Amino acid sequence: MLGPILETFIGGLLTGVLYSLVALGFVLIFKASGVFNFAQGAMVLFAALSLARLSEVMPLYIALPLTVVIMVALAYAIEFLVLRPLINQEGIILFMATLGVANFLDGFGQTVWGSDIYKIDLGMPKNPIFIFESVFPGGLLIDPSELIAAVICAVLVVVLAIFFQVTRVGRALRAVADDHQAAQSVGIPLNQIWLLVWAVAGIVALVAGMMWGAKLGVQFSIALVALKALPVLILGGFTSIPGAIIGGLIIGAGEKLAEVILGPVLVRAFDLAGGGIENWFAYVLALMFLLVRPQGLFGEKIIERV
Amino acid sequence: MLYREAGQFKTTYNADQAIFPISQDRWFVTIVVLFAFLGMPLVAGQYLFTEVLIPVLILAIAAIGLNILTGYCGQLSLGTGGFMAVGAYAAYNLALRLPELNIIVVFLLAGVMAMLVGLLFGLPSLRIKGFYLAVATLASQFFLEWAFARVKWFTNYAPSGSVAAGKIDLFGFPIETPMQKYLFVLSLVVVFAMVAKNLVRSRIGRMWMATRDMDIAAEIIGIRPLTAKLSAFAISSFYIGVAGALWGFLRLGAWEPLAFDINRSFQVLFMIIIGGLGSILGSFLGAAFIVLTPIFLNQLPSILGIPLSTAAISHIEFMVFGALIVFFLIIEPHGLARLWAIGKEKLRLWPFPY
């Protein structure tokens, strides 16, 4: 009995890493500009679509940098056309604007690149591997591509952490996150910082899109992954990069375990037409955490003043 | 010239505090309502009723509901679709299991049911604020969507999972044709809008607005956050629940939980943002804009004579819609209601420069 549960747990953790990747994009932008960027999911889809279609006509090592260029251009367009005119508006207005951007990107991506299901072939090993065969009968089944995704994600997080903590630009980013006006008054160029953050978020979206695309195929449903990343976000806290990672792991493992363990119990108890509690369990789990810590696990303590 | 309040003296406090203190406004609203009741049935065709007028009116009720919560009380909610589903399924079950109930009672009870669920999901708002709350309300959206898809009792054990509303009649008069449905919805909308307009002008409305503007300051001057926030959740959910029941019974006829998915939540949220946060008039303008724009965009290629596949049209529709939202937010972040107010202000002087 323990074997399958442990297997589910590990599978959940690895899926959770992918949620973390999407949540990371949200956190970066929220940290630096206070914008709750709902378009992150659309950006993931757009990046994945671009990469998939470009890699059809050229080798991956050319397509990848080209997609990075596209994402940076997109970041520039968003900064110039949407954020700059809306500077100093309330959070909810900016949030709505990103909803508009999400709509636009969903349509734009599919108009330009097409709306079928595309494949991204990263050349990752497909055959599942087994570990701990001596401990459990049959061993534990693990998908190597998910393992690679986890490693890439870990590397990305370390790089981002170093970038934020050590470099000059990173310090500027944190200054902008703390206080826009104060940062601007000591000479930090706000527009450039925002452009940079959106570009980095675009590249994180590209990585997330690559991983999801390799796993599920590139299709519209990737944009919906963003909805899975939201509970990760509130669980970990909107402003914390480690929070996004830990939150992703908790949500990923939690929802898979709940589906396997809690699902059948609920189905039997209430005579349901199938389980599928994955869709809301993550949210309810995150809500439970929030009732104890309203700013998420690692969010900055909310200090309110009148 | 036309819109001048010069010479309209108010001699009582009541006259000063009237909903429409200026007589031109009173006349305008009266004419619009009279035209909606008497003129529209004469000129409008079936398509206009079913595809434009009925959806706009029903969604306007939902938008008023969400506006009470988000626009007046400042609690951002993304769970509108879920609460509409509660209203729709409650009405379905009430009509099915208690067929002798009057249809208006059914709709109101459906609203009450949504209100109770709204109260439950509003509880976290006492602890969580801002975008954290917005994401938390998504929990209600996904949970409710799931519950109506999976719990068989709600759908009366229908094998397909979709339910169909029966025929409805009001005091013996059947409500079948689009025009009858339109008049029925219109009457409800007028009542609901009046009640909402008066609510937000009353003590409770001022409580909501104080909480929205700065909740701690509101608490310090003696407004209970519990009462303010939960009453906003309750009344908002009531409106949204009634809108959901109407949407199911009069717009769709037969539906499944997918009709109330997260896109519905966003649709209503778009309405109040485009229309104007904290404005009853804005709820109507926003509803009209959001319903009409896709219809217009859909027709545009064939009007211009550009041959496009359906998929391409829907993608371009997405694009234009998204761009329009951003465009509107940039030119007027306070919505169509604000544009309307600016227009009226200009009309006071027009055609003179000052």
Q: How many CB atoms lie within 10 A of CB B87?
A: 34
**Pairwise pLDDT comparison (A164 vs A201), residue with the higher score:** A201
Mean pLDDT of chain B: 88
Mean pLDDT (whole number) for A59-70: 89
Across chain A, mean pLDDT equals 82
Q: Do B76 and A92 touch (CB under 8 A)?
A: yes
Residue A275, token pair as written in the block: 């389980």
Are the C-beta atoms of residues A130 and A139 closer than 8 Å to each other?
yes
Which of B128, B269, B315 minimises the CB distance to A110?
B315
Contact in structure between A285 and A254 (CB atoms under 8 Å):
yes
Which range (B52-61, B147-156, B165-174) has the least confidence?
Answer: B165-174
Report the pLDDT value the prediction gives residue B154, as an integer from 0 to 100.
Answer: 82
How many angstroms from the chain centroid is the CA of residue B170? 23
Burial group, residue B3, by CB count within 10 angstroms (0-12, 13-18, 19+) = middle
Rounded-to-integer distance, Cα A27 and Cα A234, Å: 10
What's the mean pLDDT in A277-303? 80
Chain A hits for B128, CB-CB cut-off 8 Å, are 290-291, 294
Q: Residue A300 gets which letter from DSSP? A: P
| Cα dist from A222 to A145, A227, B19, B120, whole Å | 17, 10, 48, 32
Q: Are the beta carbons of B322 and A106 separated by less than 8 Å?
A: yes
C-beta separation of B283 from B200 below 8 A: no
- What pLDDT shows up at residue A173? 83
Residues A215, A217, A218, A222, CA torsion sign: negative
pLDDT number for residue B199: 94
Contact between A82 and B330 using a beta-carbon 8 Å cutoff: yes
Parallel, antiparallel or unpaired: strands A129-131 and A140-142 = antiparallel
Domain that holds residue B236: 44-349
pLDDT over threshold 70, residue A140: no
Alpha-carbon gap, residue A107 to A56, rounded angstroms = 21
pLDDT attached to residue A132: 65
Q: How far apart are CA A43 and CA A222, in angstroms?
A: 10
How far apart (Å, rounded) are the C-alpha atoms in residues B67 and B282? 9
A115 contacts: CB under 8 Å, gap ≥ 6: A220, B311, B315
Nearest to B118 by CA among B234, B228, B196, B229: B234
Mean pLDDT of A141-149: 74
- Residue B177 phi, psi dihedral angles, 5° rounding: -70, 155
Query: For chain A, which residues make up each domain, given as ranges?
Result: 17-245
Cross-chain residue pair A295–B149, CB shorter than 8 Å: no
Please report, in angstroms and rounded to a whole number, the separation of the first and last CA atoms in chain A: 55
Res B318: pLDDT: 84
Instruction: Decide if pLDDT at A274 tops 70.
Output: no
Whether A10 has a pLDDT exceeding 90, the answer reads no
Nearest-by-Cβ selection for B325 from A96, A115, A279: A96
Secondary structure (3-state) at A129:
strand
Q: Where are the alpha helices (DSSP H) in chain B?
A: 13-16, 23-34, 40-43, 46-47, 54-66, 80-97, 103-122, 130-150, 178-201, 203-213, 215-220, 225-246, 262-275, 280-304, 310-331, 335-349
Beta strand pairing call for B163-164 and B254-255? antiparallel
Interface test with B, best of A104, A224, A277, A288 (most B CBs within 10 A): A104
Rounded to a whole number of angstroms, the distance from the CA of A83 to the nearest CA of chain B is 9
Domain of residue B308, CATH code: 1.10.3470
Helix axes B203-213, B225-246, angle to 10 degrees: 110
Per-residue model confidence as pLDDT tens digits over A220-251: 888 777 788 888 888 888 888 888 888 888 88
Cβ atoms A226, A212 nearer than 8 A? no
- pLDDT at residue A56, rounded to an integer: 83
Q: How many domains does chain B have?
A: 1
Of the candidates A86, A106, A284, the beta carbon closest to that of B329 is on: A86
Instruction: State the Cα–Cα distance between residues B12 and B14, nearest whole angstrom.
Output: 5
**What pLDDT does residue B85 have?**
94
Q: What is the pLDDT of residue B5?
A: 77
B129's tokens: 């604020």
3-state DSSP call for residue B255? strand
Place A131 in a pLDDT band, splitting at 50, 70 and 90.
low
CA angle B337, B339, B345 (to 5 degrees): 105
Range in A153-162, B52-61, B210-219 with the lowest mean pLDDT: A153-162
Dihedral sign, Cα of residue A289, residue A291, residue A293, residue A294? positive
pLDDT band of A136, cuts 50, 70, 90: low
**Would you place residue A127 in the very low, low, confident or very high pLDDT band (cuts 50, 70, 90)?**
low
| Cis amide prior to A59 (ω within 30 degrees) | no
pLDDT band for A166, please (50, 70, 90 cuts). Answer: confident
Count Cβ atoms below 10 Å from residue A218 Cβ, excluding itself.
27
* Measured distance CA(A146)–CA(A128) in Å, rounded: 10
Min Cα–Cα distance to chain B from A112, Å: 10
Exposure on the CB side of residue A26, measured as CA atoms within 13 A: 33
Backbone phi, psi, residue B308, to 5°: -140, 150
What average pLDDT does this structure show over B304-323?
81
The residue among B306 and B209 whose pLDDT is bigger is B209
The two most distant CA atoms of chain A are separated, in Å, by 64
Q: Angle at the Cα of A235 (from A234 to A237), degrees rounded to 5?
A: 60
**Model confidence, pTM:** 0.89
List b or e across A178-217, with b for residues whose CB sees 16 or more CB atoms inside 10 angstroms: eebeebeeeebebeebbbbbbbbbbbbbbbbbbbbbbbeb
Selected residues 134-193 of chain A with any CB under 8 Å from a CB in chain B: none
Q: Which residues pair with A218 in a beta bridge?
A: A118
Q: Report the alpha-carbon distance of residue B77 to residue B269 in Å, rounded.
A: 8
What pLDDT, on the 0 to 100 scale, is given for residue B158? 76
Euclidean distance between CA atoms B180 and B53, whole angstroms? 12
What lies within 8 Å, CB to CB, of A204 at 6+ separation is A21, A24, A25, A28, A156
Report the distance separating Cα B72 and Cα B77, nearest Å: 12
To the nearest whole Å, the CA of A123 is away from the closest chain B CA by 31
**Among A34-38, B110-114, B219-223, B302-306, which is the least confidently predicted range?**
B302-306
User: Does B186 map to a domain?
Assistant: yes
| Helix H or strand E encompassing B100 | none
Secondary structure class of A271 (helix, strand, coil):
coil
pLDDT in tens, B251-267: 888 888 888 988 899 99
At B63 the pLDDT is 95
Alpha-carbon distance B112 to nearest alpha carbon in chain A (angstroms): 24
pLDDT, tens only, B175-211? 888 888 899 999 999 999 999 999 999 999 999 999 9
Asked if the model's pLDDT at residue A143 lies above 80, the reply is: no
DSSP sequence for A131-153: E-TTTSTT-EEE-HHHHHHHHHH
Contact between residue B295 and residue B315 where contact means Cβ atoms under 8 Å apart = no
More confident residue, B272 or B130: B272
Reported as a single tens digit per residue, the pLDDT across B336-347 is 899 998 888 888
